[in-house]
Structure 1
Amino acid sequence: MSYIYTVRLNGSEVATVSLDGPVRQVPLVLQVSERFRALIESGQWPRGSRIPGENQLAAELGVSRGTVREALRSLSLTGLLEPRVGDGTYVRATNEITGVLVRDDLSSLDDVLDARAGIEAAAARLAARRPDPGGLERLTVALDARAAAHDAADLDAFVSADAAFHRGVVEASGNALLLRLYDAIAEVLTESIHRTASFPEDPRLLQSHLAVFEAIRAGDPEEAGRASYALIETVKQTR
């Protein structure tokens, strides 16, 4: 990149000077690690999957095995990958925030549920201040899908629908930053749903979800926040 400067003295042009920006070459290890990061974020390397070995990756990229090893090591340090001795390397998370949160010392179920309570209650209050027909429709669709999955005893579909409901509450808040924060830790939150889901579901859980929905639809921020907190407390009691 070039920059042109004009030097003036007492209003008279004296000279022009061109400065070329320094050329920075991205280290090969960084290029390779970014390639791997893109594979993780795009889902081509899904969370929980074992990635190809160092030899295969080196051959496919046309780089040394040492370069691949260093790139994998850098992503392991951020929590995206998890090397397992004698078993290969697995995708641990799709972003650094989740990578930190899934560490054994930071991922207790009660801590995750308490974090969910804080985020979702704040979102529910905001959503109830300005109920949006589109947001209410998304919540209705999620509740219907949740009920259908429960009746079919389809755990994966149930978890997906339940996660969609809770994300829908945050989306309905209209707070873009809150939604980005929620999405950044979505993997941890969805895992908490999976760990607490069971069939048949305790009837109190369905009623708790409906209470949140009804409070948002009624435009009652205080009740929406209270109902959201109560929902998480019910999850704790029934897990």
Structure 2
Amino acid sequence: MDQVRRAPLADQAAELLLERIRAGSWPLGAKLPGETTLAPQLGVGRSTVREAIRQLAGRGVLTSRQGAGVFVTALDAPEPWETVVHRADVTTVIEARIAIETEAANLAAQRRTPSELRAMRRALAERGLRRSRIEEHVDADTAFHRSIVLAAHNPLLIELFDSLTPRSRQAMIEMLRARGRFGEDTDQDDHLRLLEAVAERDGDAAAALSRAHLVAMREASS
């Protein structure tokens, strides 16, 4: 059994526990052995085991239940979301947008209100006017797509969309600069068709149009 060799002990103990969880020593939902069992296995004291468990609980891997013990609630500790997004390449960002915006378009067609539809129309009109500077065009495009995600009435989808926006904005600007053109009439028409599908409450068409637009963007970026 690997043991802790260097300080800080609690950090090292937490990493060893996490390695064992990743390796399958305890499946999802399993109860961990008690402190008296884990402490000698890790080569640390019981107080260090308690601190290691607190660390992994804070990372969402373990949870303590009063009077029941400590249980595995995740099989790995995810990296901070901001770190994952920051290092994502253009293709990865667009693929994430496909997942988010395709379903959002479908839901928006079913759930949008008259005021939300008016907001979409205003955002699309503004997008059509912003064709002289790449940054302004990307921001107007983002505002239009966000108006559709808002109309889906799903707080997780809008949270995901917003968390991707800084990296997506950067990727879009870089891609359009490399391509050397943007804001064509055909592109604006594609967005108008998406808006019309949402207006007509045609969820299948809205999802298909959203996906087709983003897939074409992904192919153009590769």
Q: TM-score, normalised by structure 1?
A: 0.54
Where do 1:99-138 residues align within 5 Å? Answer: 99-103=83-87, 107-138=88-119
The answer to whether the aligner puts 1:172 opposite 2:154 as a matched pair is no
Where do 1:1-239 residues align within 5 Å? Answer: 96-103=80-87, 107-150=88-131, 153-197=132-176, 198-239=180-221
**5+ unaligned residues in a row in structure 2: which ranges?**
1-79
**5+ unaligned residues in a row in structure 1: which ranges?**
1-95
Return the letter of the residue paired with 1:123: A
Residues 200/100 of structure 1: CA separation in 2 closer, same or farther (3 Å cut): closer
**Higher share of residues assigned strand:** 1
- Aligned equivalents of 2:123, 2:192: Cα separation in 1: 11
CA drift at 1:200: 4.4
Q: Is the 8 A contact 1:126 1:221 kept in 2?
A: yes
CA drift at 1:108: 1.7
Compare 159-168 and 197-206 and name the one that shifted more: 197-206
Q: Is the 8 A contact 1:145 1:158 kept in 2?
A: no
- Aligned equivalents of 1:109, 1:238: Cα separation in 2: 11
**How many pairs were matched up?**
139
CA drift at 1:135: 1.5
- Aligned equivalents of 1:183, 1:111: Cα separation in 2: 16
Deviation string, structure 1 residues 25-65 (Cα, Å, up to 9, x no partner):
xxxxxxxxxxxxxxxxxxxxxxxxxxxxxxxxxxxxxxxxx
CA drift at 1:202: 4.0
Q: Percent identity?
A: 29
**Higher share of residues assigned helix:** 2
Residues 196/135 of structure 1: CA separation in 2 closer, same or farther (3 Å cut): farther
Return the letter of the residue paired with 2:154: N
- Aligned equivalents of 1:215, 1:124: Cα separation in 2: 9
